[in-house]
Chains A and B, each alone.
Chain A
Amino acid sequence: MNLMMLLEMATEGFGDRIAIQSQDAKLSYSELFAAAGAAAHAVAASGAERLAVLDVNSLAVPVGLFAAAWVGVPFVPLNYRLTGKELEALLASIAPAYLVTDTDRAGALAATVRTVVDREGFLAAARGGADRPGEWSMDADAIGILLFTSGTTGAPKAAVLRQKHLVSYIFGSIEFGAADASDAALVSVPPYHIAGMAAILSSVYSGRRIVQLSSFDAAGWVETARRERVTHAFVVPTMLTRIVDVLAREGLTLPHLRAVSYGGGKMPQPVIERAMALLPEAAFTNAYGLTETSSTITVLGPEDHRAAAASADPAVRRRLVSVGRALPSIELEVRDEEGRPCPAGVSGEIHVRGEQVSGEYLGLASRLTRDGWFPTRDAGTLDAEGYLFLEGRIDDVIVRGGENLSPGEIEEVLLAHPAIADCGVVGVPDEQWGEAVAAVIVTHPDRTVTPDEVREFVKQRLRSSRAPARVEFRRELPYNETGKLLRRKLREELARTVA
């Protein structure tokens, strides 16, 4: 198996179609194939053992991804916000590397890596080159992508995604050539996020034109979606919030947009309800996945969204905030601390198994169990029909007097309060209980709520042990750039300011 199989099939099936465009620059599938070959030749000649891209979205990302697969070296998309010591440490861990970056950085990093080229030079050589290596290796265990995980819990680690994981994910979730010739997917997630990688692979295999946004801003996203007649898009919740604000403020519609998928963080129910109302023609899909699972493992599809939004049954309506059910190619269980499957409605750790699941980090022992299950460290609950509800990271679970409390469950309740725009719940040290519940709240601009009202609101809807002992107010909460709440940061802030 090799990712180049996907591009070779697309080239054979619809080679003249536009595969990808970035502003005015475009590549058809045949051109992308040729460019990958020429870039592969250059990387092979350099003797580098990894191909890294430190840049915003551009044509260099897909060209680099497939070139790396062709040569048989890992592709390493790096976070372009990194600087100084952090960046040096990552580059040292992937040496000897062939690095593609922007012109400003190319000079400064020349001493750090084997070969450094600026993006435009890399692309010009790839588009103009005629040399290409021979057949790519079909070694399914070769590493396809090394992805440094976002590190909301500590130092970054590189997840190892082998050719077999990535190709299995695509074969298991996408039908070849299923896109219409007029379909276009807007990709605005950064290339160093698993969703950015998965978007390229899924679109190539389905024959859907990729429209790249170099980096996300809501006005630019809406403008590009309208101009390029975008039909499909993946967004993280914070992006959708801002997009919906722009649409409402400017009175704009997105008449071509048929499918919006979202994931990467908690989607507040008011945001998804507002988005569905503003974009009635679009089908919404919530996807849950991890870097270590080669992207999506569960989906809440358009039919689930419509059924939940239209239902009078609170249990069905609540599915709007679930991440749906496991893909057919994935086995999923929620297990208790002893490893036994939890019954429906009982919270535990999410475990998954399937050919796309890697569960491996560079230089560390595999996290998979002997029989192939990956403990995700995500807490969740399945309902009676197999819909999965996420409850945050296991490490974020608040242990109060021996009782395990889920921050996600309390946040969901708080967000239903009319004065509360956003909130984060974390555990703080407590002499009596071990840990106590703390809620950090952002109110809507014109609304207020008192700590006692917050406690009472939770008490009425959940058990009194869930009511936050400590309630603080902020103008905004700390998120990483893909919309994950940085609970570690919240805990640190709360520790500094004693109640």
Chain B
Amino acid sequence: MLASGEEAAADAALDPAAAGGTALGKRYISAGGDLELLCTKPGKGSLAVGASPLVLKEAKPLPSSD
């Protein structure tokens, strides 16, 4: 666990259990639906709250209005 703004160790390795990736511009929600995140910088790691992974939220496109 790193604090915000802290540098990761150079030899840090991604846990294969959390290597699903996080994609630019996608939304991720917690199982209970009480947390929603928008990915503004993508990466190889996946998101979780404690041991509970966030899942990709299905987009419901709205008609283009402007």
Q: Which residues of A contact B (CB under 8 A)?
A: 5, 8-9, 12-13, 171, 173-178, 195, 198-199, 202, 206, 232, 234, 259, 261, 263, 283, 285, 287, 289, 295-296, 299, 301-302, 327-328
Residues from chain A with Cβ under 8 Å of B14 in the complex = none
Partner of A327 from the list B24, B38, B40, B62 (CB cut-off 8 Å) is: B62
Known: A9-B25, A12-B24, A13-B24. A175 touches B59 (CB 8 A): yes
| CB nearest to A196 among chain B residues | B66
| CB nearest to A175 among chain B residues | B59
Q: Are A173 and B24 in contact (CB under 8 A)?
A: no
Residues from chain A with Cβ under 8 Å of B60 in the complex = 328
Interface check B26, CB cutoff 8 A:
yes
Q: Are A9 and B24 in contact (CB under 8 A)?
A: yes
Known: A9-B24, A9-B25, A176-B25. A287 touches B65 (CB 8 A): yes
Compute how far the CA of A296 lies from the CA of B63 in the bound complex, rounded to whole angstroms. 11
Q: Are B24 and A283 in contact (CB under 8 A)?
A: no
Could you give, for residues 38-55 of chain B, a 1 whenever the CB lies within 8 Å of some chain A CB and a 0 otherwise?
101110000000000000
Q: Is the interface of B mostly helix, strand, loop or mixed?
A: loop
Count of inter-chain pairs, beta carbons less than 8 A? 62
Partner of A173 from the list B40, B42, B62 (CB cut-off 8 Å) is: B62
Known: A5-B40, A9-B40. A202 touches B66 (CB 8 A): yes
Known: A5-B40, A175-B59. A263 touches B65 (CB 8 A): yes
Known: A5-B40, A9-B40, A178-B59. A285 touches B65 (CB 8 A): yes
Which of A176, A261, A263 is most buried by chain B, counting CB atoms within 10 A of its CB?
Answer: A176
Partner of B61 from the list A178, A232, A289 (CB cut-off 8 Å) is: A178
Could you give, for residues 9-44 of chain B, a 1 whenever the CB lies within 8 Å of some chain A CB and a 0 otherwise?
000000000000000111000000000001011100
Instruction: Pull 23 A–B residue pairs with CB atoms less than 8 Å apart, ordered by A.
Output: A9-B24, A9-B25, A12-B41, A13-B24, A173-B65, A175-B25, A175-B61, A178-B61, A199-B66, A202-B65, A232-B64, A259-B63, A259-B64, A261-B66, A263-B65, A263-B66, A285-B63, A285-B64, A287-B66, A296-B66, A299-B62, A302-B63, A328-B62
Q: Are B24 and A176 in contact (CB under 8 A)?
A: yes
Compute how far the CA of A206 lies from the CA of B64 in the bound complex, rounded to whole angstroms. 10
Q: Are A301 and B24 in contact (CB under 8 A)?
A: no
Compute how far the CA of A277 lies from the CA of B56 in the bound complex, rounded to whole angstroms. 40
Which of B42, B63, B66 is most buried by chain A, counting CB atoms within 10 A of its CB?
Answer: B66
Q: Are A176 and B26 in contact (CB under 8 A)?
A: yes
Residues from chain B with Cβ under 8 Å of A202 in the complex = 64-66
Residues from chain A with Cβ under 8 Å of B61 in the complex = 175, 178
